[in-house]
């Protein structure tokens, strides 16, 4: 393994971030045992869950014993709404965040003062790893309020000494004006919203590359592909980094480093596994499965073997950046985002990865799934770039067939392709609506 020479200021906490793997494993083992005793003593939910599984805190003596512990599911948070999974009384809680709750009850997450500090510290490490710090102006374009995105980035950015521009979502033309006038050097938002910002900027006669100081984008809250990253970087001149977290864990917590080859998960704070989503069997590094996370330093609502639902794989080899903490490779999608078409599993990220390699295809698309008689049908609505659009029907038909062929080669599913003019697909200031499944209506 060849490491780049890194200055100490390239790390937020070099002692932890570069800790030898053996020391990191010992630290995790100590914190896991401590956390298991903590939840057993303080959480009626986990005490009962452990008893049902026939496991006691004394059974957990090493990291290899983790698999003895039962899984936790998102439905557990909903079934114990609002605070049935909390491990501390309300007078120890300094903040609540609440999920959108689009289906059934929302999930409520509480924070102690130490939980907020851990969250901020995690993001301070992450933002430092992508070269941000004092002197940067970080424009936070995630939502503020009950949603965790905005406030998480806000506190992490302030902790590293950066200046925060808390624009939130919406008011896109004003955001572009402030980006120019206040010298934003980084922006954090969904990748689809940044693509929309770039579109609006172009209509305003503003070049992100030439007329702003923007150099870094921190994009997440929705799946996106390396092909979309390439498009963003080539079109705007910025470096685009992936960010990861969930509201149940705290919110956004981790990013890629400047190597752009996997998201560093801080092992002193979280313990990660990848499992077979059907059997629950733990998979070795490099195999794709469902992400499972155990919190090691979260006190209001700790989570033991929480099944995230995201499909990914782990690389535990030390990174060329010098950090020894494991990395998550790109999220393929969520187990509940998977579309089943005539028995074949399809993820929106697979569709995107194909579309973004075709020069005539624009940045926006939508997948529409329906049923015709007993058969499932999938249509992909694709915006064509202005230069790729043609007034010749034969050219458009040829492009449509080419896209359909490329999709079938990757998905093994025949998709109808509908080409539309630029701007036809609705834009979103938050998470993009990529899939419309009419079979559920």
**Residue extents of the structural domains in the chain:** 1-335, 339-440
Q: How far apart are CA 214 and CA 237, in angstroms?
A: 8
Fold of 1-335: Rossmann fold (3.40.50)
For 157, the token pair is 């950015």
The mean pLDDT value of the chain amounts to 92
pTM of this prediction?
A: 0.85
In the chain, % of residues over pLDDT 90: 75
Give the pLDDT band of residue 1 (cuts 50, 70, 90). Answer: very low
Q: Is the pLDDT of residue 316 over 80?
A: yes
First-to-last CA distance in the chain? Answer: 53
Buried b (16+ CB within 10 A) or exposed e, 177-215: ebbbeeebbbbbbbbbbbbbbbbebeeeebebeeebebb
Q: What is the pLDDT of residue 2?
A: 46
Q: What is the mean pLDDT of residues 203-230?
A: 94
Residue 266's pLDDT is: 98
Q: How confident is the model at residue 339 (pLDDT cuts 50, 70, 90)?
A: confident
User: What average pLDDT does the segment 177-200 reach?
Assistant: 95
Beta strand ranges found along 8-162 (DSSP E): 95-98, 108-111, 137-140
What is the pLDDT, as a whole number, of residue 333? Answer: 75
* pLDDT greater at residue 84 or residue 104: 84
**Which stretch, 4-18, 281-295, 386-400, has highest mean pLDDT?**
281-295
d(CA 305, CA 45): 14
d(CA 86, CA 303): 10
Q: What is the CATH number of domain 339-440?
A: 3.30.300.30
Beta carbons within 8 Å of 61's beta carbon, 6+ residues apart = 33
What is the rounded CA–CA span in Å between residue 72 and residue 377? 35
pLDDT at 212: 98
State yes or no: pLDDT of 216 exceeds 50. yes
Q: pLDDT band for position 104 (50/70/90)?
A: low
- Reference 107, options 80, 143, 142; nearest CA is 80
Q: Could you tell me the pLDDT band of residue 101, with boundaries at 50, 70 and 90?
A: low
User: Strand, helix or coil at 71?
Assistant: coil
Give the span between the Cα atoms of 347 and 358, in whole angstroms. Answer: 18
Sheet (strand 416-420) strand order = 416-420, 375-384, 361-372, 435-437
Q: Which of 73, 87, 72, 79 is nearest to 105 (CA)?
A: 79
| Tens digits of residue pLDDT in 378-433 | 999 999 998 877 778 888 899 999 999 999 988 888 899 999 998 899 887 777 88
Closest among 142, 107, 140 to 308, alpha carbons compared: 107
What span, in angstroms and rounded, lies between the C-alpha atoms of 105 and 100?
A: 9
Model confidence over 245-275: pLDDT tens digits?
998 999 999 999 999 999 999 999 999 999 9
Name the E strands within 32-102. 95-98
Judged by DSSP in three states, 23 sits in helix
> In terms of pLDDT, which residue wins out, 238 or 332?
238
Pairing of strands 263-264, 327-328: antiparallel
Q: Is 144 helix (H, G, I), strand (E, B) or coil?
A: coil
């Amino acid at each position: 393994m060849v490491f780049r020479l890194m200055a100490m200021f390239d790390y937020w906490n070099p002692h932890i971030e570069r800790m030898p793997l053996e020391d990191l494993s010992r630290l995790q083992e100590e914190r896991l045992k401590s956390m298991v005793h903590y939840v057993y003593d303080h959480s009626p939910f986990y005490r009962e869950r452990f008893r049902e599984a026939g496991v006691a805190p004394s059974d957990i003596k090493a990291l290899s014993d983790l698999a003895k512990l039962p899984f936790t599911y998102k439905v557990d948070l909903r079934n114990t709404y609002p605070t049935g999974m909390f491990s501390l009384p309300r007078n120890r809680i300094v903040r609540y965040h609440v999920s959108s709750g689009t289906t059934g009850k929302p999930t409520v997450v509480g924070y102690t003062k130490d939980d907020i500090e851990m969250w901020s510290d995690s993001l301070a490490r992450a933002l430092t790893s992508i070269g941000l710090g004092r002197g940067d102006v970080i424009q936070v374009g995630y939502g503020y309020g009950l949603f965790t995105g905005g406030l998480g980035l806000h506190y992490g950015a302030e902790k590293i000494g950066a200046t925060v521009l808390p624009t939130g979502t919406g008011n896109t033309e004003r955001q572009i004006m402030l980006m120019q006038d206040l010298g934003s050097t980084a922006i954090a938002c969904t990748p689809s919203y940044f693509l929309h910002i770039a579109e609006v900027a172009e209509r305003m006669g503003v070049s992100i590359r030439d007329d702003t100081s923007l150099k870094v984008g921190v994009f997440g809250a929705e799946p996106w592909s390396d092909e979309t990253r390439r498009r963003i970087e080539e079109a705007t001149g910025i470096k685009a980094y992936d960010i990861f977290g969930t509201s149940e864990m705290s919110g956004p917590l981790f990013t890629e480093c400047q190597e752009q080859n996997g998201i560093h998960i801080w092992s002193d704070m979280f313990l990660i596994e990848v499992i077979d989503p059907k059997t629950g069997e733990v998979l070795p590094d490099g195999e794709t499965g469902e992400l499972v996370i155990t919190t090691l330093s979260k006190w209001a609502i700790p989570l033991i073997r929480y099944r995230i639902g995201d499909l990914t794989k782990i690389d535990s080899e030390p990174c060329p950046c010098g950090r020894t903490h494991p990395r998550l490779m790109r999220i393929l999608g969520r187990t509940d985002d998977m579309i089943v078409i005539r028995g074949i599993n399809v993820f929106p990220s697979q569709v995107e990865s194909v579309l973004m390699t075709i020069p005539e295809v624009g940045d926006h698309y939508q997948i529409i799934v329906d049923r015709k008689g007993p058969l499932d049908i999938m249509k992909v609505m694709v915006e064509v770039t202005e230069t790729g659009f043609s007034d010749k029907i034969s050219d458009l038909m040829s492009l449509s067939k080419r896209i359909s062929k490329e999709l079938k080669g990757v998905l093994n599913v025949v998709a109808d392709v509908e080409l539309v003019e630029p701007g036809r697909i609705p834009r979103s200031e938050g998470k993009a609506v990529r899939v419309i499944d009419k079979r559920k209506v």
